Amino acid sequence: MRTDTPWSTLPARDHLLARAGDAAGAPVLDVVVPVYNEEKDLEPCVLRLHDHLARTFPYAFRITVADNASTDRTPEVARRLARSMPEVRSYRLEEKGRGRALRTVWSHSDAPVLAYMDVDLSTDLNALLPLVAPLISGHSDLAIGSRLARSSRVVRGTKREFVSRAYNIILRSSLSARFSDAQCGFKAIRREVAQRLLPMVEDTGWFFDTEMLVLAERAGLRIHEVPVDWVDDPDSTVHIVRTATEDLKGVWRVGRALAVGALPLDRLARPFGDDPRDRGIGGVPGGLARQLVGFCVVGALSTLFYLVLYSLFRQGVGPQLANGGALLVSAVANTAANRRLTFGVRGRGGAVRHQAQGLVVFAIGLALTSGSLAALGAASGSPSHGTELAVLIAANLAATVLRFLLFRAWVFPDRDRGGDAPRPADTPAPRPAAVPADDTHHELRNVR
């Protein structure tokens, strides 16, 4: 996974209206239309989109055609549109991939709000202003159109409807995603967020959207959803089976990276007070209430996991070996879960040390539970399996309080929140190169 992002935190969100005139003619909104062999639909799309923005959008705007290595007359059409309308630009990439096109254009844009939509304009353009308004006002970091909201009106075939809803269920169950529609080709993002987020997104194809949203949500960024009216394009060239397969591979890759803490999501954090999660509870020091809740949930799941493992191991070995093996495996999982979910430590920094300290805590738990089993054996000789489980549950509950105190004071103290590496708060994020105002066509070759 990509991790080459700046260390400083994101600035506070501000309302773009107050400084819209400071950008020396730069547009407030840059709408990207990624295309591949769309010589027939490109011109009607751009003309309709341009007309809509000119009539309804109260800020300066730009339309950027991102050509994904088309082999037909699409590049020629894009250049002609760029020459005839000052608000239209064109980019040419020599490699295919919608994600690659969006990352390239968004990384070079000077507009504070970046959006994209599919060339078929399946989404009603009346949703465009509601999509970008929360980003302009400073309320949200990203915005997405949703075809699965209750008030959305959608016309599409049964197969696509089934695939979309099944994919949404997979994302919710595997990646705990809370957004409703990852695949709708109608999204927007603030530029300062894109500068930090896009280098972490590895996919260059159709999974790009999902990966971007999952990482943004896990980092605590605010995602605004807009119900849309959407009509399926019967001439769509998207290969459903191949796209679904690639998406499932992406889900596995991202899920694995999040599970092991391989992504420095702390670099997407907003300043203190901007994220509701950072606001303290009156009279409770250091987020103790939230940590207790998280620790209890993780502990309950870990205990169930431990008991299942103990029962499995007990079928082949004695109680002491079964207890030790079950405790070791569950302890590693417990430390990793508490590190990320309870104490909010992100990234790889200190992960090995935290696991080593967690094993010390595990040794204490092992001594308590093993001692309890030994005492039980000495007292009753051959206790039943149910009696063993009851004693182990009591011993684990006794060890839980001590485990939490050690985790909080020793393994994950306050100075480790968000990782161990220093992050100077006043280090500005590097700005991408601005698109020249007098250049209407750009050739980007061998972009990865």
Among residues 102, 317, 306, the alpha carbon closest in space to that of 204 is found at 102
Residues 6+ apart with CB under 8 A from 71: 37
Instruction: Specify which residues 116 forms β-bridges with.
Output: 32, 187
SS (H, E, C) 395-406: HHHHHHHHHHHH
User: Both tokens of residue 147?
Assistant: 């075809």
Q: What is the DSSP letter of 294?
A: H
* Catalytic residue (choose from 181, 209, 247, 266): 209
Contact 410, 335 (CB under 8 A): no
Q: What is the DSSP letter of 219?
A: T
The three-class DSSP label of residue 223 is strand
If 0-12 CB within 10 Å is exposed, 13-18 middle and 19+ buried, where does residue 435 land? Answer: buried
Catalytic site residue 232? no
* Alpha carbons within 13 A on the beta-carbon side of 213: 31
Q: How far apart are CA 426 and CA 29, in angstroms?
A: 27
Buried b (16+ CB within 10 A) or exposed e, 281-310: eeeeeebeebbeebbeebbeebbebbbebb
Residues 6+ apart with CB under 8 A from 89: 62, 63, 64, 65, 82, 435, 439, 440, 441, 442
Planar angle of CA 330, 333, 338, nearest 5 degrees: 120
C-alpha to C-alpha distances, 255 to 151, 173, 174, 210, nearest whole angstrom: 31, 11, 7, 12
Residues designated catalytic? 209
